[in-house]
Amino acid sequence: MIRSATLREFIRRHRWRLGALVVLSLLGAGLGLAQPLLLQQMFDGLTSGSVSVPAVLILTAVVITQALLAGVESYALARTAHDLVLQLRTRVAGRILSLPMVHLQRVPQGEFLSRMVSDTAASSTVLTTGVFKLLAAVVTFVVAATLMATIDPVLFVLSLAITVFATVLSTVMGRLVRAASAQTQAATATLSGSFERTLTALPLIRAYSVSQQQLALVVADAGDVRNNAVRLARLGAYMQPVMTLAAQALLIVTLAVGGIRVADGTLSLGELIAFLMYLMMMVGPVSQVGSTFVSIQTGLAAVDRVEEIASAAAEGENRAEPLRGSVDAGERLLALDHVTFEYPHTSVGDVTGIGPLNLTIRRGEHVALVGPSGSGKSTIFALLERFYEPSSGSVRLHGVAARDISLTDYRDRLAWVPQNSPPLGGTVRENLDIEQRGLPDDVLRQALQDVGLFVDRDADVLDRQLTASGNNLSGGERQRLGVARALLSGRSVLLLDEPTSSLDVISAERLSSLVRDRAREKTVVMASHRLAEVRHFDKIVVIDRGSIVDAGTHDELMDRNDLYRDLAAQQNVRA
């Protein structure tokens, strides 16, 4: 039974094409099996002093037709393989893009890259190259064996005994090959992740002169790949001599016994030649079983790895209800009701979770989240954006539990600016109009001017190419771009997580003032370390070690909250 839902779906959708390939493969095998019978007639005719011209013409036509069919089959198999790889990669990419953030943060990016590229490519061998070669080999083996038994039962029994022994041994070893292949693929994924992390942190690595230490880690992972690959090659090497010795033994036994039987008149020369050709047809599939079986087992191991991703639960799965008209018509827009969240991985001494949190954000209200680093501000944004799901309690939108609203409908109301605001790559225009709404160029240029980005550039600034990592932008430029994108989105709620942390004090206050001015009619939730930026917000929420310790205006908090006063004193912010 095929274990992968993707493979089953591929078979269902392409059953006619796959059926035609089966017919093509069997037809080619049939033409090959007909050739020894035609040769037998020719050689028996030669021994009797006459050659059948029609038999020669038929044999020639059969050989040419088989060669042409082999070319057509090769192309069709290759095309089918590429179609399957495309479908696998489409499904894997779609699933990775929809996995919960907790899952994405737990697995190295290199692991996803390995499954997206190498594992999907290896998976195609199960259904295409491996399966079809094995199918043709089985048919050829069965028919050739039947005809050999008809020609000479004694020779057939001898050859079959050797063949069965070699086949059983190769099958047992194939199980070991599959396990070794899975380990090799896992080690390759680890190497990809290790090298990807090294490239990402390359400036830091060079700054602290730890290139050799990082290289040693990468080399160690590469050594694991090498060791697993050598083990896999060693298992394959064990199989090769077995198949070679079996083929040689078959040939020697057949020639020796067959020669004796021709000499005593039990076999004709044409029958011996036909038997030898069928023997080669039978030995050929058996000798291919080793490599084909390795290919199939490698593909099955890759299928297992692909299916782990393809079948993983997506975020918000089975929550497809849009936000309907029966919602809270009051001013209560967003709320955290007794929300707790447990971090999946924490170090000893770290905060293991946050909450319970109770927070109400009203329509049109500007709310600031302040507190020491690591207090949980970014986690609250992740909960509001539904990157994380609460361990208990609920996030509510218009009085409706967020878990009961489809993610698309929920997030369509929120514009999010993360701390580092990474671009997508592509042009400035594509990054500003991320939803591809076709916003006019003058609107996009005005947005850039408003946030003070690229103000000294020419009119072609919208066509400037940005790298996916954003390394051709400064941290402040990435943040300005993120704010401009959020303001252009037209969404009613802005979630701004430290949107000015990479800007100088003056630029940060100007950008914060712009946000307040341009978002007067919007609901704004903003985290900031700089109290001067948020002192005029409608509500300031003080967070410490995962808990809300107070909330109020700047003046109210200066009067009653020691932590807020300490933060203000450190930043020379007065009442």
Chain segment 414-468, per-residue pLDDT in tens: 888 888 777 777 788 888 888 888 888 888 888 888 888 887 666 688 888 887 6
Architecture of domain 5-310: Up-down Bundle (1.20)
Q: What share of the chain is helix, strand, coil (3-state, %, to 5)?
A: 65, 10, 25
- The residue with greater pLDDT, 173 or 555, is 555
Residue 37 scores a pLDDT above 80: no
Nearest in space to 98 (alpha carbons), one of 406, 486, 434: 406
* H or E element at residue 421: none
Residue 1 scores a pLDDT above 50: no
The percentage of the chain sitting over the pLDDT mark of 90, rounded to a whole number, equals 11
Most confident of 185-189, 207-211, 337-341, 448-452: 337-341
Distance CA 83, CA 385 (A): 36
Distance CA 201, CA 276 (A): 64
Cα 469 → chain centroid: 19
- pLDDT, position 326: 44
Distance CA 491, CA 415 (A): 6
- pLDDT, position 393: 92
Residue 18 scores a pLDDT above 50: yes
Q: Contact at 8 Å (CB) between 127 and 87?
A: no
Q: What are phi and psi of 306, to 5 degrees?
A: -65, -40
The highest-level CATH class for domain 332-570 is alpha beta
> Can you give the residue ranges of every domain in the chain?
5-310, 332-570
Question: Residues 318-352: pLDDT tens digits?
Answer: 554 666 544 444 578 999 999 999 877 544 445 57
> With bands split at pLDDT 50, 70 and 90, how would you rate the model's confidence at 373?
confident
The predicted model gives 12-23 an average pLDDT of: 81
The chain-wide mean pLDDT, for the chain, equals: 79
Q: Contact at 8 Å (CB) between 125 and 296?
A: yes
- pLDDT, position 210: 74
Q: Do domains 5-310 and 332-570 have the same CATH topology?
A: no
Write down how long the chain is.
575
Tokens of 419: 């701390």
> With bands split at pLDDT 50, 70 and 90, how would you rate the model's confidence at 167?
low
- pLDDT, position 539: 93
The predicted model gives 184-202 an average pLDDT of: 76
36-41: long-range contacts (C-beta < 8 A, 24 or more apart)?
Answer: 36/147, 36/273, 36/274, 36/277, 36/278, 36/281, 37/147, 37/274, 38/62, 39/270, 39/273, 39/274, 39/277, 40/270, 40/271, 40/273, 40/274, 41/270
- pLDDT, position 468: 64
The percentage of the chain sitting over the pLDDT mark of 70, rounded to a whole number, equals 82
Residue 214 scores a pLDDT above 90: no
Cα 70 to Cα 24, 46, 74, 76, 382: the distances in Å are 9, 30, 6, 10, 56
Question: Residues 122-166: pLDDT tens digits?
Answer: 777 776 666 666 677 777 778 878 888 888 888 788 777 777 776
Question: Residues 217-240: pLDDT tens digits?
Answer: 888 888 888 988 888 888 777 766
- pLDDT, position 543: 93
Q: What is the largest CA-CA distance in the chain?
A: 121
Hey, CA dihedral for 523, 339, 400, 417, is it positive or negative?
A: positive
The predicted model gives 349-361 an average pLDDT of: 79
